[in-house]
Structure 1
Amino acid sequence: MQSYILILYYSKLGATREMAYLIADGVEAAGVATKIRTVPEISTVVEIAAPSIPNEGDIYCSLDDLAHCSGLAVGSPTRFGNMASPLKYFWDQTTPLWLSGALQNKPACVFTSSGSMHGGQESTLLSMLPPLFHHGMMILGLTNAHPALSNTQSGGTPYGASHVSGTRHEKMLSSDEKLLCFEQGKRLGELAKKLIV
């Protein structure tokens, strides 16, 4: 089986999805293959079951996709300073992987998008870390080796790549935000290559 980095994300309006693909570009620039997966919507009431394969867009992540990855990038839009509930629901189903230790010692990073500069980007990134720690993963962020991290007037944090979409989601990813996504993916890919035996 070929080694790959799993890019796992949830995106409502498309910004987090775009970031996922930029991170994948960085991983692939480091010479590592990627799998891009999303998670299904959830509902507070049972209306109808979602199809196992979405009608459009990226396919849903399976526990096998997660178990067999060599590294992981996890992305979510900001929801009141927290990860979105569909992504949290997915993590709540990963107990079998925790019991088997399937993710132990694999590198991981996180990324997010929010409507405003102070919309809870950093707390959202931090909210995505506990499941990774519990699974025994090795966490990496962005370093100050990337000038865009210090120069950005929009998204970007040491905890992971981020994007400020605007309150009406009218802002496209800035050049700094795009660069930081790429660099985070590249760093993840380079570390995974060193760890793959």
Structure 2
Amino acid sequence: MGNVLVLYASATGNTAKMAEQVAAGARRIDGIEVRVRDVSAATLEDVQWCDGLALGAPTNMGTVPWEMKKFWDVTMQSAWADIDGRIGCAFATQGGWGGGAELTCQTLNTIMMNFGFLVFGVTDYVAQGFTLHYGATVAGEPRADREVEACQRLGQRLAEWVAVYRDGRQDQHPLTSGRTRFPWPRD
């Protein structure tokens, strides 16, 4: 069955906590194997192993920290064309709301796109006014229910897409699986 890698950089531990929640969401889908790796310990083989990648980082001056950039520039350079076609999504922490986490998600998505990943956002709302269109974002560590669910929903959606596109499991499609979704509120 499909493989999901949750790969992250974390300076204070907040993004590591977020990564664990993303992994918990991916584990909601039966038959998906999940690995969690800090970028400092990750290898080229970890990324080659995965069918889906959740890539996360803390916001560093509106972008990714140097450790994440170095991993893709140096460690992954030789795999440039070999990992094309995998599925990817992003998550990021920030020091406070409005601290640049969506910019960091966009940078992470751009990195994956340059390696041929098919990246996605999630249209679901996990609480009133709280969504993850560009990826899951939190200020600090995920504490509130909506923050935890945002992380888990991202991981779940990644695992759903891996199940559908890698394993051909159409019953896992998020629009037809019967799992609860919270669409855009229309009022």
Q: TM-score range by the shorter chain?
A: 0.7 to 0.9
Q: Tell me which of 89, 93, 117 is aligned to 1:109.
A: 89
Q: Would the aligned equivalents of 1:83 and 1:128 in 2 still touch at CA under 8 Å?
A: yes
Residues 67 and 79 of structure 1: CA distance in aligned 2, closer, same or farther (over 3 Å) = same
Give the equivalent residue in structure 2 for 1:87.
Answer: 68
- Deviations along 1:168-195, whole A, 9 cap, x unmatched? xxx6522111001101100000100112
Report the Cα offset of residue 96 of structure 1: 1.1
CA RMSD of aligned residues (A): 1.5
Residues 147 and 23 of structure 1: CA distance in aligned 2, closer, same or farther (over 3 Å) = closer
Any gaps of 5 or more consecutive residues in structure 1? 41-59, 166-170
Give the share of equivalent positions with the same residue, in percent.
Answer: 28
Q: Tell me which of 112, 118, 138 is aligned to 1:163.
A: 138
Give the equivalent residue in structure 2 for 1:146.
Answer: 125
Is 1:183 matched with 2:153?
A: yes
- Read off the aligned partner of 1:110 and give its amino acid letter: A
- Deviations along 1:139-187, whole A, 9 cap, x unmatched? 01121x3342x433xxx5310001112xxxxx65221110011011000
- Read off the aligned partner of 1:20 and give its amino acid letter: A
For the residues of structure 2 that align with 1:79 and 1:163, how far apart are their CA atoms? 14
Report the Cα offset of residue 134 of structure 1: 1.1
Q: Give the TM-score, by structure 1 length.
A: 0.79
- Read off the aligned partner of 2:89 and give its amino acid letter: C
Give the equivalent residue in structure 2 for 1:38.
Answer: 38
For the residues of structure 1 that align with 2:116 and 2:136, how far apart are their CA atoms? 22
Give the equivalent residue in structure 1 for 2:143.
Answer: 173
Q: How many residues align?
A: 165
Give the equivalent residue in structure 2 for 1:15.
Answer: 14
Q: Would the aligned equivalents of 1:122 and 1:157 in 2 still touch at CA under 8 Å?
A: no
- Deviations along 1:33-85, whole A, 9 cap, x unmatched? 11111122xxxxxxxxxxxxxxxxxxx11101101211100000000100111
SS in 1 for 2:34: strand
